[in-house]
Structure 1
Amino acid sequence: MGQTWIALLRGVNVGGHGKLPMAAFRQSLQSVGYGNVRTYVQSGNAVFESERDAGEISAQITGVLETDFGFSRPVFVMSPDALEMAIAANPFKAALAEPKSLHLFFCGGAVNFDVHGFAEICDQGEQFDFVKNVFYFYTTNGFGRSKASQKIEKFLQADVVTARNLNSCRNIATLAQG
């Protein structure tokens, strides 16, 4: 059928906005020609097979969201190898024991990051790094309690940005292998 791809959608099923039923989403992806479609949890993670390239897939899924579900969201598409490399490139090995404390922000297109500005608003113990197109944010105090977590995109600007914690990344990678 083609290469395996991973699509990460931004801002679906969050706070009552961007409602996206996963069963209907899987059907929509199958109807436009994607094979072996699987989803992980309710936050817009899909794994499937396609002969299209990442740019075509992103544009097509954006269209599916608009046509079938009535809203538009950024879609970040990557290969399973790219996700595995992002997981392996984690600069914060302490996060391996606390996978929900590390968030990976996948960035597409042009990226502008104000390193110094972001560093100034981080709490003690929070760490971050930017490796290739992935911004890693590690917080042992909890992502939801972090003042900096709520302002990341003020300092990290990209055409597409979507985040997943390390635990979710690992589970999506496993889904892509199967």
Structure 2
Amino acid sequence: MSNSDKLKLDLQPVELTKDVLKGYKIAHLTGVDKFTLSDDQRNVIKDFVAAGGLLVIDACGGFGEFDASVQAELSKIFPAEASQIAEPLKQDHPIYTAGAIPKPQPKYRVYAMQKLGADATRFRLRGLTIGGKLGVVYSPDDLSVGLVGMPIDGIVGYEPEVATTLMRRIITLKNAGGI
């Protein structure tokens, strides 16, 4: 993305503590297991999004107890908006259609297609619009393993090139103020 999109990515793991996300436009949360955030951690996320940040979340591997935890935590952090997570973003959402990066086609791994059935014919990203802006993008399907280019199966998620294209589109749109 640095060469193709002229973006400087600062990738580093952080603990969710006060002010840790200041200055960042995007934060990425991924996991497999059940988790619970503290009230302070919830406030860090809420403040980050309120300040214009975008939280991108994906269920690494596309299975496990992470999905239920994400939904529970989003309900606590954004109670008025959390119901939006129940439905995928419309297939004509700017994440899929806007900008110069070629529009991706939904292409899932073989294992994912077996598990998802008819759902594997469309994108399944979810979003929370908060204060008129997209504040959270959540993928119940794996993006992370795809981002590192792992072509292994047994993953409920997108093919690596699709996961990478989706993340490129999210980052470039956020950087350009399009979402």
Structure (1 or 2) with the larger CA radius of gyration: 1
TM-score (norm 2): 0.24
- Point out the structure with the larger strand share: 1
